[in-house]
Amino acid sequence: MKKLWQKDEKDSSKLVEDYCFSDGVALDNNLVNHDVYGSIAHTCALAKLKIITNLELEKLVKCLKEIIDLNKKGKFIVTGGDEDVHTKVEKYLTEKLGDLGKKIHTARSRNDQIAVDMRLYTKEELLNIAVLINKLTDTYLHFAEKYEFIPMPGYTHMQKAMPSSIGMWIGSFVESLMDDSKMLQTTYELNDQCPLGAGAAYGLSLPIDRELTAGLLGFSKVLNNSLYAILSRAKSHTVVMQSLVQVMLTLSRFAQDMLLFTTSEFNFFKVDSQLCTGSSIMPQKKNLDIMEFLRAKTHVVIGYEQMVNSISAGLPSGYNADFSETKGPLMKSIGIVKESLKVVDLLINSIKPNIEILSNSMTKELYATHAAYELVKKGIPFREAYVKIGTSLDELPQYNSQEILKMSTHTGGTGNLGLKKIQKDFSKQENYWLKEKKKYMSVINKLIA
Amino acid sequence: MKKLWQKDEKDSSKLVEDYCFSDGVALDNNLVNHDVYGSIAHTCALAKLKIITNLELEKLVKCLKEIIDLNKKGKFIVTGGDEDVHTKVEKYLTEKLGDLGKKIHTARSRNDQIAVDMRLYTKEELLNIAVLINKLTDTYLHFAEKYEFIPMPGYTHMQKAMPSSIGMWIGSFVESLMDDSKMLQTTYELNDQCPLGAGAAYGLSLPIDRELTAGLLGFSKVLNNSLYAILSRAKSHTVVMQSLVQVMLTLSRFAQDMLLFTTSEFNFFKVDSQLCTGSSIMPQKKNLDIMEFLRAKTHVVIGYEQMVNSISAGLPSGYNADFSETKGPLMKSIGIVKESLKVVDLLINSIKPNIEILSNSMTKELYATHAAYELVKKGIPFREAYVKIGTSLDELPQYNSQEILKMSTHTGGTGNLGLKKIQKDFSKQENYWLKEKKKYMSVINKLIA
Amino acid sequence: MKKLWQKDEKDSSKLVEDYCFSDGVALDNNLVNHDVYGSIAHTCALAKLKIITNLELEKLVKCLKEIIDLNKKGKFIVTGGDEDVHTKVEKYLTEKLGDLGKKIHTARSRNDQIAVDMRLYTKEELLNIAVLINKLTDTYLHFAEKYEFIPMPGYTHMQKAMPSSIGMWIGSFVESLMDDSKMLQTTYELNDQCPLGAGAAYGLSLPIDRELTAGLLGFSKVLNNSLYAILSRAKSHTVVMQSLVQVMLTLSRFAQDMLLFTTSEFNFFKVDSQLCTGSSIMPQKKNLDIMEFLRAKTHVVIGYEQMVNSISAGLPSGYNADFSETKGPLMKSIGIVKESLKVVDLLINSIKPNIEILSNSMTKELYATHAAYELVKKGIPFREAYVKIGTSLDELPQYNSQEILKMSTHTGGTGNLGLKKIQKDFSKQENYWLKEKKKYMSVINKLIA
Amino acid sequence: MKKLWQKDEKDSSKLVEDYCFSDGVALDNNLVNHDVYGSIAHTCALAKLKIITNLELEKLVKCLKEIIDLNKKGKFIVTGGDEDVHTKVEKYLTEKLGDLGKKIHTARSRNDQIAVDMRLYTKEELLNIAVLINKLTDTYLHFAEKYEFIPMPGYTHMQKAMPSSIGMWIGSFVESLMDDSKMLQTTYELNDQCPLGAGAAYGLSLPIDRELTAGLLGFSKVLNNSLYAILSRAKSHTVVMQSLVQVMLTLSRFAQDMLLFTTSEFNFFKVDSQLCTGSSIMPQKKNLDIMEFLRAKTHVVIGYEQMVNSISAGLPSGYNADFSETKGPLMKSIGIVKESLKVVDLLINSIKPNIEILSNSMTKELYATHAAYELVKKGIPFREAYVKIGTSLDELPQYNSQEILKMSTHTGGTGNLGLKKIQKDFSKQENYWLKEKKKYMSVINKLIA
Per-residue pLDDT at B136 exceeds 60: yes
Per-residue pLDDT at D312 exceeds 60: yes
Q: Kindly state whether residues D180 and D289 are assigned to the same domain.
A: yes
Contacting residues for D412 by C-beta, under 8 A, at least 6 apart: C197, C198, C203, C210, C222, C223, C224, C225, C226, C229, D418
Q: Kindly state whether residues A263 and A237 are assigned to the same domain.
A: yes
Q: Return d(Cα B148, Cα B141) in angstroms, integer.
A: 10
Q: Return d(Cα D423, Cα D413) in angstroms, integer.
A: 17
The pLDDT tens digits of the residues spanning A390-436 come to: 999 999 988 999 999 999 999 999 999 999 999 999 999 999 999 99
Q: Kindly state whether residues B331 and B371 are assigned to the same domain.
A: no
The pLDDT tens digits of the residues spanning D134-162 come to: 999 999 999 999 999 999 999 999 999 99
What confidence score (pLDDT) does residue D285 get? 86
Q: Taking the CB of residue A126, how many other CB atoms lie within 10 A of it?
A: 24
What confidence score (pLDDT) does residue C32 get? 97
Q: Return d(Cα C124, Cα A126) in angstroms, integer.
A: 41
Residue C325 sits at the vertex; the CA angle it makes with C179 and C76, to the nearest 5 degrees, is 95
What confidence score (pLDDT) does residue C213 get? 98
Q: Kindly state whether residues A273 and A169 are assigned to the same domain.
A: yes
Per-residue pLDDT at A9 exceeds 70: no
Q: Return d(Cα C169, Cα D211) in angstroms, integer.
A: 22
What confidence score (pLDDT) does residue D306 get? 97
Domain-located, residue A60? no
What confidence score (pLDDT) does residue A11 get? 57
What confidence score (pLDDT) does residue C195 get? 98
Alpha helices in C349-367 (DSSP H): 355-360
Q: Which of A352-356, B284-288, B339-343, C128-132 has the lowest mean pLDDT?
A: B284-288
From chain A residues 329-358, the ones with a CB under 8 A of any chain C CB are 329, 339-340, 342-343, 346
Q: Kindly state whether residues B252 and B272 are assigned to the same domain.
A: yes
Per-residue pLDDT at D9 exceeds 90: no
Structural domain for A248, as ranges: 111-148+164-195+230-357+425-448
Helix (H) or strand (E) holding C134: helix C110-146
Chain B residues closer than 8 Å to A418 by CB: 224
Tell which residue, D151, D123, D29, has the closest CA to residue D399. Answer: D151
Over residues A348-356, the mean pLDDT reads 96
From chain A residues 217-256, the ones with a CB under 8 A of any chain B CB are 222-229, 231-232, 235, 238-239, 242, 245-246, 248-250, 252-253, 255-256
Q: Which of B72-76, C2-6, C339-343, D83-87 has the lowest mean pLDDT?
A: C2-6
Q: Kindly state whether residues D308 and D376 are assigned to the same domain.
A: no
Domain-located, residue D224? no
Residue in chain D closest to A372 (alpha carbons) equals D283
Over residues C209-229, the mean pLDDT reads 98
The pLDDT tens digits of the residues spanning A291-340 come to: 999 999 999 999 999 999 999 999 999 999 999 999 999 999 999 999 99
Per-residue pLDDT at D227 exceeds 70: yes
Q: Is position B220 annotated as part of the catalytic site?
A: no
Tell which residue, C219, C229, C221, C223, has the closest CA to residue C199. Answer: C229
Q: Which of D158, D299, D319 best probes binding to B when mutated, by most B CB atoms within 10 angstroms?
A: D299
Q: Kindly state whether residues A286 and A385 are assigned to the same domain.
A: no
Give SS3 for A433.
Answer: helix
Torsion, CA A413, CA A417, CA A422, CA A424, rounded to 10: -130
What confidence score (pLDDT) does residue B220 get? 97
- In chain B, what is the greatest distance between 2 CA atoms, to the nearest angstrom? 94
The pLDDT tens digits of the residues spanning A244-258 come to: 999 999 999 999 999
Residue C133 sits at the vertex; the CA angle it makes with C127 and C135, to the nearest 5 degrees, is 105
- Number of domains within chain C: 2
Domain-located, residue B74? no
Domain-located, residue B156? no
Q: What is the DSSP letter of A316?
A: P
Per-residue pLDDT at A198 exceeds 90: yes
Chains contacting C (3+ CB pairs below 8 angstroms)? A, B, D
What is the least distance, in Å, from the CA of C241 to any CA of chain B? 18
Per-residue pLDDT at A224 exceeds 80: yes
What confidence score (pLDDT) does residue B285 get? 86
Q: Kindly state whether residues C325 and C442 are assigned to the same domain.
A: yes
Is the CB of residue B314 less than 8 Å away from at least one CB of chain C? yes
Per-residue pLDDT at B105 exceeds 80: yes
The pLDDT tens digits of the residues spanning D103-130 come to: 999 999 999 999 999 999 999 999 999 9
Q: Kindly state whether residues C120 and C259 are assigned to the same domain.
A: yes
Is the CB of residue C439 less than 8 Å away from at least one CB of chain A? no
Domain-located, residue A429? yes
Q: Mark A231-264 as b/e (b = at least 16 C-beta within 10 Å).
A: bbbbbbbbbbbbbbbbbbbbbbbbbbbbbbbbbe
Tell which residue, C304, B234, B251, has the closest CA to residue A306. Answer: C304
What confidence score (pLDDT) does residue B182 get? 97
What confidence score (pLDDT) does residue C7 get? 66
Chains contacting D (3+ CB pairs below 8 angstroms)? A, B, C
Tell which residue, A218, A168, A186, A197, has the closest CA to residue A34. Answer: A218
Q: Kindly state whether residues A306 and A389 are assigned to the same domain.
A: no
Q: Taking the CB of residue C449, how many other CB atoms lie within 10 A of it?
A: 6
Q: Return d(Cα B347, Cα D31) in angstroms, integer.
A: 32
Per-residue pLDDT at D281 exceeds 90: no
Give me the phi and psi of D205, to 5 degrees please: -90, 30
What confidence score (pLDDT) does residue B151 get? 98
Is the CB of residue B285 less than 8 Å away from at least one CB of chain C? yes
Q: Kindly state whether residues C255 and C371 are assigned to the same domain.
A: no
Over residues B249-255, the mean pLDDT reads 98
Domain-located, residue A77? no
Q: Which of A143-157, C280-294, D332-346 has the lowest mean pLDDT?
A: C280-294
Domain-located, residue D208? no
The pLDDT tens digits of the residues spanning A166-178 come to: 999 999 999 999 9
Q: Which residue has the higher pLDDT, C116 or B79?
A: C116
Is the CB of residue A379 less than 8 Å away from at least one CB of chain C? no
Q: What is the DSSP letter of A11?
A: P
Residue C10's pLDDT band, with cuts at 50, 70 and 90, is low
Q: Mark A348-365 as b/e (b = at least 16 C-beta within 10 Å).
A: beebebbeeebeebbebb
Residue A446 sits at the vertex; the CA angle it makes with A445 and A447, to the nearest 5 degrees, is 90
**Across chain C, what does the average pLDDT equal?**
95
Chain D residues closer than 8 Å to C161 by CB: 200-202, 318-319
pTM: 0.97
Chain D residues closer than 8 Å to A292 by CB: 157-158
The pLDDT tens digits of the residues spanning C240-270 come to: 999 999 999 999 999 999 999 999 999 999 9
Per-residue pLDDT at B252 exceeds 90: yes
Per-residue pLDDT at B150 exceeds 90: yes
Per-residue pLDDT at C443 exceeds 70: yes
Tell which residue, D164, D144, D161, has the closest CA to residue D414. Answer: D164
Q: Is position B237 annotated as part of the catalytic site?
A: no
Per-residue pLDDT at D10 exceeds 60: no
Chain D residues closer than 8 Å to A157 by CB: 285, 287-289, 292
Looking at residue D270, which CATH number applies to its domain?
Answer: 1.20.200.10
Q: Return d(Cα B179, Cα B208) in angstroms, integer.
A: 40
Q: Which of A86-90, B253-257, D22-26 has the lowest mean pLDDT?
A: D22-26
Q: Return d(Cα A136, Cα A173) in angstroms, integer.
A: 10
Domain-located, residue B437? yes
Per-residue pLDDT at B278 exceeds 90: no
The pLDDT tens digits of the residues spanning A15-53 come to: 888 898 888 888 999 999 999 999 999 999 999 999 999
Q: Return d(Cα C6, Cα C13) in angstroms, integer.
A: 13
Q: Kindly state whether residues C400 and C332 are assigned to the same domain.
A: no
Residue A114's pLDDT band, with cuts at 50, 70 and 90, is very high
Of the partner residues A161, A286, A361, the one whose CB lies closest to the CB of residue D282? A161
